[in-house]
Structure 1
């Protein structure tokens, strides 16, 4: 039975369709920095409860960021199953820092794939895409709108996925050899 492969839809922001989740993460952070995406996401979440429009002077940036973050989330959903095939080489003690750990627990820092597994055990890709769409929609409204969905939990998971992805980029990955 053939698996249906999910499209990462990177052609909107990366100008080509990438098919490997690691390539998507690389292009995503090549487009902008971790701090930029965390700041942008925080601002969008903040503006969802203000009676001001986020980035009113340049709404095209909001759309561009939406498409990039959506592709990022799609790549993260594919990474949840990669821990069976890939592992992060152990980070030497002198390279470890509480600052580089960011929002990750010590266990997640050692194995960033846990972040993706936990996020997608709790929420589906559809849930994360709804979260992204909802916060963008609410942040672009000139009035405050009441909403009844949990936006905090997906936000925390996305922040952790950003940190875990950055760690994957900075770490050396090695393919797990299957012995029979």
Structure 2
């Protein structure tokens, strides 16, 4: 959390400019709402929403975002010639395929646990990339907060059903 506190005070979350980079932290955090809201609804016993079944909303959005997060590491893979260039494409494909197969074949609870583990593993890869100065401190701060919200939401939803 020290990482986040440093960035809060340095203006990473301040909307004083209109560049796309200024909006990125807010868009990232807004992207956690489709995880958080269905998890809360399910914990309250509400499975149906105006958008449909909360289980399906959470499962499908989780699959979409975990695939997006895994895919975002391909940009790093394509620019590297070290060990990361070999590890990232295999790791990210395994994550995406495991999550997809769990979506197709497994129970909702199993999907939530697999998604939570996948988001945690992707966060650990980003943490290592940050430690090696491959990704920025600002990105890692926002990523940490968003990942915490997402994983907690998935675990809440997985424990409720």
TM-score range, shorter chain: 0.3 to 0.5
- Provide the TM-score with structure 2 as the length reference: 0.35
The answer to which structure has the higher helix fraction is: 2
- Please, what TM-score do these two structures have when normalized by structure 1? 0.32
